[in-house]
Amino acid sequence: MVIGLTGPNASGKDEAARYLKEKGFECHSLSDILREEADRSGIEPVRENLIRLGNDMRREKGPAVLAIRAIKKLSGGKNHIVDSIRNPAEIEALRGVKGFTLIIGIDAPAEIRFKRSLERGRSGDALTLEEFIEKEEKENRSSAENQQLKKCLGMADIVLTNDSTVNELRKKIDEAIKKA
């Protein structure tokens, strides 16, 4: 089984991936691939730099480059989760993988996601709701090499609204997998 996760910033993708990992899934994060590339290139791994690096990589090597790197890590006989999908070409690449099951979109209202981003305190995250929304709009430019989170969410096989507790999100994930 191969499941992909997509959704906007601080929607709960990492929490969903952690849960699936607890259930025995092997996790492959496209953001981790970017962080590894940033480390090799001597780039500070803050949000703005990672976005720029991802866009540059997609422009130079094709819009599915990160998914292709993750796909190379998938091994037979195991369940896999591919996290942090941010470009439609990444979804299309995953849909071509043997064992592909579904793309789960995770979403929540901007106010809840902003609060979560403040709580996790990652370097480069917005400090006001207005800045959070502005950054998100900037990140959704519609060109092949850029992040297109809204478009990816629209391509998901199922979208889970994560506006409650972690346990509720876990129940929704279990239901989505059962229906797949």
CATH no. for residue 111? 3.40.50.300
Q: Which DSSP letter does residue 11 get?
A: S
Residue 160's domain spans which residues? 2-179
* pTM score of the predicted model: 0.90
Residue that the structure tokens 């989170």 belong to: 149
The total of structural domains in the chain comes to 1
pLDDT tens-digit series, residues 161-180? 999 999 999 999 999 999 88
- Catalogue the E-assigned strands of the chain: 2-6, 26-29, 80-85, 100-107, 158-161
Q: Can you give 42-105 as a three-state secondary structure string?
A: CCCCCHHHHHHHHHHHHHHHCCCHHHHHHHCCCCCCCCEEEEEECCHHHHHHHHCCCCEEEEEE
pLDDT tens-digit series, residues 53-98? 998 999 999 999 999 999 999 988 899 999 999 999 999 999 999 9
